[in-house]
Copies of this chain bind each other. A is one copy, B any other.
Amino acid sequence: MNYISINEIKAWDRFYRANFVNCLSGFKPASLIGTINKEHKPNLAIFSNIIHLGAEPALIGFINRPLAASPHTIANIEATNQFTINHIHPSFVSKAHQTSAKYQAGISEFDETGLTAKYRENFSAPFVAESNIQLALELVEIISIKHNETFMVIGSLKDVYLDKELLLNDGFIDIQKSGSIVSLGIDAYYSCLPVERFEHAKINTEPAKKQIV
């Protein structure tokens, strides 16, 4: 096992450092976030830090990079209070990655990548029709993280769209079956395979295994 200090990391080339540090936190929950601006122009962008915040109330957050790097999604959410989260599958991972190109405001990444915007009644932000798990969220709060000018955007879950065949009888969702991917670093995508599922851990006993799917 080798030791690498923060001073060594700071001295590295910027892109080498970005690849390295982005991998340290582990595989990341990547999804496509759909929004719309006040002129009804849709926006779609891949985000790789989707955060489960709690089940009751059902809150999901994500990290938005500094405004200079990633301005459109957060501006649209501030304008409309709405966004969608759409899981990504291997069949369109290339298109999902392409949404990270620096398109100008008002350009629809749906048009540019060929992904299909799906609109539903009572919600203005677009979903990704190709996605097997689609969520509608309403803005709760945007928290500024002063140390690097990023933001945590917190949404309240409103609607879920998925195939109920993915639901196990305890509420667990078999998102592996539906093909949800994870990301690693700034440009790599992975599928997941079951290792183990356990019963709730209790003091003085070994964790009992559960059937995973």
Give chain A's interface residues, CB within 8 Å of chain B.
1-6, 9-10, 12-31, 48-60, 63, 85, 87, 90, 93-94, 97-103, 112, 132-135, 140-141, 143, 145, 147-148, 150, 152, 154, 156-164, 167-168, 170-173, 175-176, 180-182, 184-185, 187-203, 206-207, 210, 212
Contact B30 A26 (CB under 8 A): yes
Interface of A is mostly: mixed
Contact A25 B54 (CB under 8 A): no
Contact B53 A51 (CB under 8 A): no
Contact B19 A25 (CB under 8 A): no
CB of A8 to closest CB in B, whole Å: 9
Give complex CA distance A147, B154 in Å: 10
Contact A26 B180 (CB under 8 A): yes
23 contacts between A and B (CB under 8 A): A5-B160, A6-B156, A6-B158, A6-B159, A15-B170, A18-B56, A20-B173, A21-B54, A22-B52, A23-B173, A23-B175, A25-B29, A53-B63, A56-B148, A59-B147, A101-B202, A143-B152, A176-B184, A182-B182, A188-B198, A189-B197, A190-B195, A191-B193
Residues of B within 8 A of A150 (CB): 53-54
Copies of this chain, whole number:
2
User: With A98-B206, A100-B201, A101-B202 known to touch, is A60 a contact of B25 (CB < 8 Å)?
Assistant: yes
Give complex CA distance A23, B160 in Å: 12
Give complex CA distance A175, B27 in Å: 8
Of the residues B85, B135, B147, B212, contact of A188 by C-beta under 8 Å:
B212
Contact B24 A173 (CB under 8 A): yes
Given A57-B147, A101-B203, A112-B203, 19 other A-B contacts at CB below 8 A?
A: A3-B160, A4-B159, A13-B171, A15-B170, A18-B55, A20-B171, A21-B54, A26-B50, A26-B182, A51-B63, A52-B63, A53-B145, A98-B201, A141-B147, A172-B184, A176-B184, A182-B192, A187-B210, A192-B192
CB of A18 to closest CB in B, whole Å: 5
Contact B161 A3 (CB under 8 A): yes
